[in-house]
Structure 1
Amino acid sequence: MGDPNEHVVEELESHSETLGLDDFVRIVEKHHRTDGPGVERELLADYVEQVYFDVDLSAVEDRLTDSEEWTAGDQLYAVGENRISAYPASWHESISDSGDVRKVIEVIQSSVTEPEGDAREAVTDEGVPEEKVLRVAETVAGTSREDARAGIEELRKDGEIEEFASQHRNPRLRLA
């Protein structure tokens, strides 16, 4: 498991004003990769102890689901014995450490069957926000943000994704 990484603590603290519980879990999961999907509860608790701001770790239980598939709402996922993830187990099984951005888009696009999240984050019929693709690629597919961006650019160049012309810097991506 290991001790909290100072780099991860700094990353968490740099977002302290806007950091929700799901983002806290996602950041630890992304930067403190261990064997298996998600993050161990004990390690998450260790990070809660390290940051200077309050984190209500008891709220994990209220938001935790054992569903292996994406479910609507602000969920955290049980992805193994004493492991928690910001993403469902089926996503880990499909794209874990693949680095395949096309597969990331495909999994999100097929799993999220109704709009969810705020307007900037919502997965809709128009596609998956690029920022969400990048976060899932980093956290689950195990690729760097730069490599994920390069993968998206390659998909654009090859005509494998559609984007709507009226979109802003966080365009929605949909497989063609």
Structure 2
Amino acid sequence: MPELNEHVLEEAGDRGRTLLVSDLVGLIERYERSDRPGVAPDRVVTYAEGLAADGAQIDPDSVPSAVEERRTESSSWDDNDALYTVDDGRVSTYPERWHESLRGESDVRRYLEVILDDVGDSADAFDVGGAGRGVPRSLLLSATAVLGELNPTEAKAQIQALRDEGVLAEDADQHPNARVAFADQQR
């Protein structure tokens, strides 16, 4: 079996029966850096086999059909559980458009611009996060880690600095996964 990333195995194993195939793809994208966008579907199966060998309750034989059920050819955001076809059959938790626009980007403002432009009405685009407009904080942090060069600590620091400058705002409802938006566009 090819070498597997321990962070992926640990986090996926901790999720147990609640682990979705889209979660596994997201973990692989985040921790297994590649010069190509997304993950090869057979690599997802390899991780499922590794998890099963470690005692996780996962059926590696069901992974290919689970990938196909969630796969979309859309180049724009569809929903949180979708797997987007990117780069000749690979799958990603983010659409091709985001990969093309944000690969290697290190400015959080650019992520917000691209994501908000892609989803249109952000109040209804995401099924996670607090109410209102903007990008759920967890999605923004994950996107900066997968698509760009920022680790979550750096992205959080940028968000805080831009909030302090009045450029960004977060939901006033103090939701643990608040929506991040440009201050002049939040409401």
TM-score by length of 1: 0.87
Let me know the Cα RMSD of the aligned residues.
2.0
Moved >6 Å (runs of 4+):
none
Cα distance in 1 for residues equivalent to 2:47 and 2:145: 20
2:70 matched to 1:63?
A: yes
Cα distance in 1 for residues equivalent to 2:149 and 2:40: 17
State percent identity of aligned pairs. Answer: 36
Which of 50, 54, 60 is 2:58 aligned to?
Answer: 54
Which of 93, 103, 124 is 1:96 aligned to?
Answer: 103
Equivalent pairs, count: 173
Residue 15 of structure 2: aligned partner? 15
2:157 matched to 1:153?
A: no
Cα distance in 2 for residues equivalent to 1:35 and 1:144: 17
Cα distance in 1 for residues equivalent to 2:20 and 2:136: 19
2:138 matched to 1:131?
A: yes
The CA deviation at 1:64 is 0.7
Counterpart secondary structure, 1:162: strand
Between 107-116 and 26-35, the greater mean CA deviation after superposition: 107-116
- In structure 2, relative to structure 1, the CA distance for the partners of 1:116 and 1:19 (3 Å cut) is farther
Residue 33 of structure 1: aligned partner? 33
Residue 90 of structure 2: aligned partner? 83
Which runs of 5 or more structure 1 residues have no equivalent in the other structure?
A: none
- The question of whether the paired residues in 2 share the 8 Å contact of 1:109 and 1:123 is answered with no
- The question of whether the paired residues in 1 share the 8 Å contact of 2:135 and 2:180 is answered with yes
Cα distance in 1 for residues equivalent to 2:130 and 2:68: 25
The CA deviation at 1:63 is 1.4
Cα distance in 2 for residues equivalent to 1:73 and 1:162: 22
Cα distance in 1 for residues equivalent to 2:181 and 2:36: 29
Counterpart secondary structure, 2:11: helix
Q: Specify which structure has the higher proportion of helix.
A: 2
Residue 169 of structure 2: aligned partner? 162
Cα distance in 2 for residues equivalent to 1:122 and 1:65: 23
- In structure 2, relative to structure 1, the CA distance for the partners of 1:124 and 1:87 (3 Å cut) is farther
Cα distance in 1 for residues equivalent to 2:12 and 2:109: 29
- In structure 2, relative to structure 1, the CA distance for the partners of 1:153 and 1:73 (3 Å cut) is closer
Counterpart secondary structure, 1:133: helix
Which runs of 5 or more structure 2 residues have no equivalent in the other structure?
A: none
Q: Which has the larger radius of gyration?
A: 2
